[in-house]
Amino acid sequence: MRRKIIVVGGVAGGASAACRLRRLDEAAHIIMFERGADISFANCGLPYYVGGVIEQRKKLLVQTPKSMRSRFNIDVRTMSEVIKVKPADKKVEVKNLINDTVYEETYDYLILSPGAQPALHNIPGIEKSNVFVVRNVPDSDNIKQYIQSHQPSAAAVVGAGYIGLEMAEMLKESGLKVTIIEAADQILGALDPDMAAIVQDYIKKQGIDIILSDKVVAMEGAEQVEKVQLESGKTVAAGLIIMGTGVKPEVWLAQEAGLAIGSTGGILVNEYLQTSDPFIYAAGDAIQIKDFVTGDDSLVPLAGPANRQGWIVANNICGRQIKYTGSQGTSIVKIMDMVAGGTGQNEKQLKRKNIDYLFCHAHPFSHATYYPGSSQMTIKLLFTPGEGKILGAQVVGYDNVDKTIDVLATAIRAGMNVYDLLELELAYAPPFSSAKSPPNMVAYVAANILDGSIDCVRWEEVRDLLEEGTFLIDARMPREVEKGSVDGAHNIPVDDLRERLDELPKDREIAVFCQVGMRSYIANRILQQNGFKAKNISGGYRLYQYLKNSGLVE
């Protein structure tokens, strides 16, 4: 019997499901409804289209209604919004947005992929014509056209997530003075504050202003917004406002149909991505899924997981039972020349869930330093005590960040621990990496912590340690110290340490730092084997500078 399958929504989840359905079932009658004009577009590329990096609009369109019809024989109906689902009758109500007619279609199976919608707040003035969101291609068209026709000199980006930072970069490159406004106390909430501080320091040096821990309470102006009023009393002049305050699942259609909604606010699905109605499946940003690392309920609005979910839904409808094992939220962003990526859990999440963990930092180079063009990155690894199972990782740098975070993401997916990561044999030649690759290097640091070779502390703890009597050593060379050090530190270069042990107090704990951690590790080994109680300050002076510039340490 010929099955009739309706797909609500295109882009990643819906389009992926529709195409996979056709590859598995040539006879199926597949209808895709999309309320916009585009069924499959690169929404992650929208900021780059606004900024002119992607010059041609058509490059954003992954599939067009015409190509979907001709290649996959799918009945694509754009500008058509499904306004009601009737599970008992296995019908949907559809509104043609061009002529406002409403009609019904029956289905054997229904796939919901409505995506997420901007999480906007009820701010006075937010409805004005120079306030924009970045959700689809028409949104990007509107921003581009507004910049060209009105030529604003300043812009405010509200929200410092991935889209917010990408838009800030593109607007800056377009010649606007840009201010980022973030209600939280850091940018890039997916990262921990110490790693976000590196990105924040870089962005400020590029001439973009950042205001943290402050909320927008009003957008003031006559016909258009001229300035943004903040909760603190500050005002920001802006002729263009981008709302990048995040997204929330669009679940009203499922909710009105009586489908179960999860604790996170997403559509509740089982491991086969089936909703509470056995004939209705769901995929993409609107669904509640399991976190791969912890098993907790989660929302992960990312294109990669959405594509995978759509593919799985199609397989399950066609009888190939495949479970969705969850998402670890692997993501990456480029801001000017800097790149930041993360995967798995961050410290904030682990603390919130009362999960015991250890941490470490490493600052390896992107490739062999003797080959031209190498640059330093910062890696943070989170892992369990004892076994050393990898829980999460974050990487910030300029080159090789994507490869490094992908290796670490693969390690998490494979259930690897720190010692497994040590064993990875990764491609090496001087232009590409080092004999000990960045993932290997951070694994060595983590293994040293696990086996007791070093005891790590954070910079955030150092001030309290000093007040308790800890003796602080700066193990760098004097010429490095001349450029800056930490108040209260005693400069004893690591190469001189053995000859100067008699200068150290035997009855006090000793904390050591160097530039990035290697020399302080060696110093720790010397001290511990000579009867001193020593600690290594994670991240070295390099991390301290970023933390100090961001106000996270004194």
Q: What is the DSSP string of 79-99?
A: SEEEEEEETTTTEEEEEETTT
Nearest to 114 by CA among 301, 324, 271: 301
* Length of the chain as a residue count: 554
Cβ neighbourhood burial of 388 (10 Å; 0-12, 13-18, 19+): buried
Query: Dihedral of CA 438/444/450/452: which sign?
Result: negative
Residue whose entry in the numeric block shows the structure tokens 């909430």? 189
Helices H / strands E in the chain, number of each: 16, 33
Sign of CA dihedral 435, 438, 443, 446: positive
Q: Is 456 a catalytic residue?
A: no
Dist CA 456 CA 231 (whole Å): 39
The DSSP output letter for 470 is P
**Separation CA 419–CA 55 (nearest Å):** 46
Q: 429 burial class (0-12, 13-18, 19+ CB within 10 angstroms)?
A: exposed
CA distance 183 to 112: 32
Q: Number of C-alpha atoms within 13 angstroms, CB side, residue 424?
A: 24
User: Do 163 and 136 contact (CB within 8 A), yes or no?
Assistant: no
**One-letter amino acid for residue 509 of the chain:** E
Contacts of 432 (CB under 8 A, 6+ apart): 367, 400
Please identify which of the residues 19, 44, 456, 514 carries the catalytic annotation: 44
* Tokens 């593919």 sit on residue: 311
Residues forming the active site: 44
